[in-house]
Amino acid sequence: MYNVIQLLVKYGAHILFVVLEIICFTLIVNNNDPQKKIFLNSSNILAAKIEEQRNNIVEYSNLKNLNDSLLRQNANLIENLISIDYSNDNVPEPDSLLLQYNLIPSKVINSTINLRNNFFTIDKGSREGVRPDMGVIESHSGLIGVVRNVSDNFAHVISLLNRQTRISCTVKNRRGHGTLMWNDMDPLRMSLESIPKHEKIEVGDTVITSGYSTMFPRGILVGKIESIKVPPGSNSYSVSVKLFNDLTSVKYVYVIQNIYAAEQTLLEKEVVNE
């Protein structure tokens, strides 16, 4: 008995500490949901990790094939989406337009995001049909940029996050079109300039590509309008657009091959030259 009392006197504070902490943690685990979940899962984390690792190794061998087929499927789906957009348009388009765009799936192998002028490098080049001035998208709702120059197997893409970027865009279900530019250093936002002041647009509207160029077909979703300003003395809105996609984590992209691009640019050039 004497020993027990002595022990308590000597280590009482430490024992009290342990007892109090045990009470606290019992309370935490029993009364707070997030901690409870973590506590219950902690025992499974190790097992899950091992299983996952094994899966990674086993599946790694046929991952590449799987990926390629998925990319191809995706490309087909987006091609279909683009043609559906055309057939839903108020102005009936000739059938031949449905075949106008062809997507080349490709992988990003180098990218910058933190510079004032950012670029991507993708692993498809002139051998697969990539040419300068072709548009690049991530999905049906996400622009990436425009091809600048190509080698046999690679292409250099001007990212949206670049001072040179000028993409003709419009607002879904509204009239008027403007130019998409990157003015701030924010990788999630861009600005849409020179939409005339008399057109009615609202915060929350969806910005889509206008199709007034050979690079992008009409109707690729770009982003949502976040704020609208009219600079004093200006005749047009200055609109801040929040992009749908996150350009900082792009892995797979599609190059848009416009079959009639050469024909269109040739025609337009003739007019300019006259």
Residues forming the site for other proteins (CB under 8 A): 12-13, 16-17, 20-21, 23-28, 31-32, 34-35, 38-39, 42
Residue 7 Cβ vs other proteins, minimum distance, rounded to whole Å: 14
Residues 6+ apart with CB under 8 A from 164: 117, 158
Residue 41 Cβ vs other proteins, minimum distance, rounded to whole Å: 9
Residue 32 Cβ vs other proteins, minimum distance, rounded to whole Å: 6
Minimum CB distance to other proteins smaller for 29 or for 75: 29
Three-state SS at 36: helix
Torsion angle defined by CA atoms of residues 52, 55, 56 and 61, in that order, rounded to the nearest 10 degrees: 180
Minimum CB distance to other proteins smaller for 59 or for 184: 184
Residue 239 Cβ vs other proteins, minimum distance, rounded to whole Å: 23
Minimum CB distance to other proteins smaller for 20 or for 109: 20
Report the alpha-carbon distance of residue 226 to residue 204 in Å, rounded: 6
Minimum CB distance to other proteins smaller for 28 or for 66: 28
Residue 242 Cβ vs other proteins, minimum distance, rounded to whole Å: 14
Report the alpha-carbon distance of residue 189 to residue 182 in Å, rounded: 8
Residue 17 Cβ vs other proteins, minimum distance, rounded to whole Å: 5
Contact 197, 229 (CB under 8 A): no
Minimum CB distance to other proteins smaller for 21 or for 263: 21
**Which DSSP symbol is given to 32?**
-
Three-state SS at 159: strand
Minimum CB distance to other proteins smaller for 49 or for 175: 49
Radius of gyration of the chain (CA): 28
Q: Tokens 């009615």 appear where?
A: 200
Three-state SS at 20: helix
